[in-house]
A and B are shown apart, each in its own frame.
Chain A
Amino acid sequence: MQGMMIARAKELLQDGTVNRVLGWQAGEFAYDITPAVFETAEELDAGFVYNAFCGNNLSKYLIKETKKDGKVLVFLKPCDTYSFNQLLTEHRFDREKVYAIGIPCEGKTSGEMLKAKGVSGITGIDEDGDSITVHTVYGDQGFNRSDVLEERCLTCKSKKHVAYDELIGEDGEVLDSHRFDMVAKLEAMTPDERFAFWRSQLSKCIRCNACRNVCPACSCEKCVFDNPESGIAQKAAADSFEENMFQIIRAFHVAGRCTDCGECSRA
């Protein structure tokens, strides 16, 4: 897949359809992939990757990218195309300046997911179909892809692309994903249990702004929490309850516009 994507990107750069390519760049280790803009075939050869660790949703970067001159090629996983459409509906970027290629996704994992399984000292990772082999200084460890998938991918709602100029690979179907199973579980809780559940989950918040800044639905130029004039600007919470409130306010702000891309839970 990666090879086909690089080849197609080179063609589109070559024939002048696009000026830049928005994709994923390899990192220091096998899993620490960074979204990046590539401008030449050499740059693509040197660093472009697409694998099980390319979780980042690139659609939000289009806001910034389409403010520049020329046209940008973007690769979108199925879930990313939903955010793409949502941003388009809100007139957040210029569709004319984007060439979108839909790419298949078998579900993503991450360095953090592997570490949660007790893996450490990672020196390399091999993917072969559904099996993932992690090489570490403490020996090799093998996993089934489904055992290390991110939560959002376990409940993936669709393998079907809802926006693209062209597709590489087969398009999939909308899935029956059980993504409301957890919601049903929450609804079945007593109010006290539910309150305790959320207090515990939200107590993990360190009040950085990763979930907000990564979110394609959170695209305000200036968030109320950053605006000293708003009266509720907070870099800090007075107590743990206020900390929880940040999450709750954000949840209400994106309700109805959230496309379930799962970026916030990844962050």
Chain B
Amino acid sequence: MLKISLSKIQDLFAAIAADEALYIPADHAGQPEFMRWEAGMQMADALNTVRSAKDFFFPQTENLVTFKMQGQKIDIIDPRSETEDFVVFGVRACDVRSFSILDRVFLVDPVDSYYENRRKHGTIVSMACSKPAETCFCHSFGIDAAEPEGDAVCWKTEDALYIRANTEKGEKLIEKLRPVLEEADDAPVKAQQEQTRAIQEKLPLNSFTTEKFGGDVLLKVFNSDKWASLSEACLGCGTCTFVCPTCQCYDIRDFKTGSGVQRFRCWDSCMYSDFTLMASGNPRTSQKERFRQRFMHKLVYFPANNDGIYGCVGCGRCLSKCPISMNIVKVAKCLEGEL
């Protein structure tokens, strides 16, 4: 275990940023968001950023290909510039786990080279939680908030930041940072971990689980008559899907530039009326069906196709951001009675 005093944390940031881009959670117009670090930027203490860390690998919009037309001639241009190496610092355990869920989508055949490219260039430094919120239920998915995954992991105590590598990438990073770090005893980290786990015991969602869901109950869940009342108030705004670290749907569109076509992709949401729009229209004609899709995907379809792994990491963003406070916990609790 290595450490650095919190009063010197800017030295650590400067050392990381010396030869690659560094992103830390910081204040953005009053909200915590990952921002590119520049000298003096303070790290926000907030538990979770508004947007999740998935943006680094699967950005909200991304150009895929550009077509330039000159008379009869069409140039096909790959707009990708080589992605620079970057470090995302301070990712919570829930968000770190979301990357392995996204990997199951984007890194299986056919591999999404845009995503893969970013994954290769990114190093993830996670941050253990010491003050989980009532909306947190990462432990339901076997995630330990006090011992996050990631290339390297940090614990922040009153006066110091402790850091340890988990992977080769993490070791390489720490090697580079070695001059600003000092050897440390891991007792303070152990104490914090114990405390965090004790707090989790007391949180309202401590006993929440999605265990009853999965591919085996597909039809039962799908045909439940509870969906009508659950979806009654849903506005179809898509906020839940946009803030969700594991939502992975996108739409590919062409934009006429005047001298050609810009093909880009952008996040889509199953909550939208034009989601999976086909010549026949959206196969899900009502908000009830669109609403059902979101939860079926996370609790049933995804585990059915991915060895029982649920499409949720319990980050709690949809719990706090939905304008009508409807969310995966309420849905699962309402439906589990029937299973």
Contacts and interface: CB of A to CB of B under 8 A. Distances in A.
B264 interface: yes
A174 B136 CA distance: 41
Given A120-B131, A121-B131, A203-B29, A238 B61 contact: yes
Contacts of B218: none
Contacts of A203: 28-29
A236 B29 contact: no
Main secondary structure on chain B at its contact with chain A?
A: loop
B134 A56 contact: no
Q: Secondary structure of the A side of the interface?
A: loop
A7 to B, nearest CB: 23
Nearest to A43: B229
A144 interface: no
A72 B269 CA distance: 31
Interface residues of A, number: 45
A206 B324 contact: no
Interface in B204-233: 204-205, 229, 232-233
B276 to A, nearest CB: 13
B101 interface: no
B266 A208 contact: no
A29 interface: yes
Given A123-B204, A235-B268, A236-B264, A111 B274 contact: no
Contacts of B28: 203-204
Contacts of B233: 34-36, 56, 61
Contacts of B47: 120
A120 B60 contact: no
Contacts of B327: 32
Interface residues of B, number: 52
Nearest to B46: A115
Contact of B60 (A121, A207, A226, A228): A207
Given A36-B229, A121-B203, A236-B61, A213 B29 contact: no
B145 interface: no
Nearest to A38: B229
B304 interface: no
Kindly name the residue among A28, A200, A209, A235 whose own CB sees the greatest number of chain B CB atoms within 10 A: A235
Nearest to A25: B233
Interface stretch (B79-87, B107-115, B160-168, B237-245): B237-245
A210 B232 contact: no
Given A120-B47, A121-B134, A204-B28, A111 B232 contact: no
Contacts of A137: 134, 199, 202-203
A37 to B, nearest CB: 6
A208 B324 CA distance: 14
Interface string A96-125: 000000000000000110010000111100
Given A27-B330, A29-B204, A236 B320 contact: no
Contacts of B255: 238
B315 interface: no
Interface in B236-254: 236-239, 241-243, 251, 253
Contact of A138 (B131, B237, B274): B131
A267 B322 CA distance: 8
A212 interface: yes
Given A123-B204, A203-B29, A238-B255, A267 B134 contact: no
Interface of A: 27-29, 31-37, 56, 61, 111-112, 115, 120-123, 136-138, 200-201, 203-204, 206-210, 212-214, 222, 226, 228, 233, 235-238, 263, 266-267
Nearest 9 interchain pairs by C-beta: A236-B266, A32-B325, A213-B235, A208-B239, A236-B61, A210-B237, A267-B323, A35-B233, A213-B237
15 contacts: A35-B233, A115-B133, A115-B320, A123-B134, A138-B131, A204-B29, A204-B31, A208-B237, A208-B269, A209-B272, A222-B273, A226-B273, A226-B274, A235-B266, A238-B61
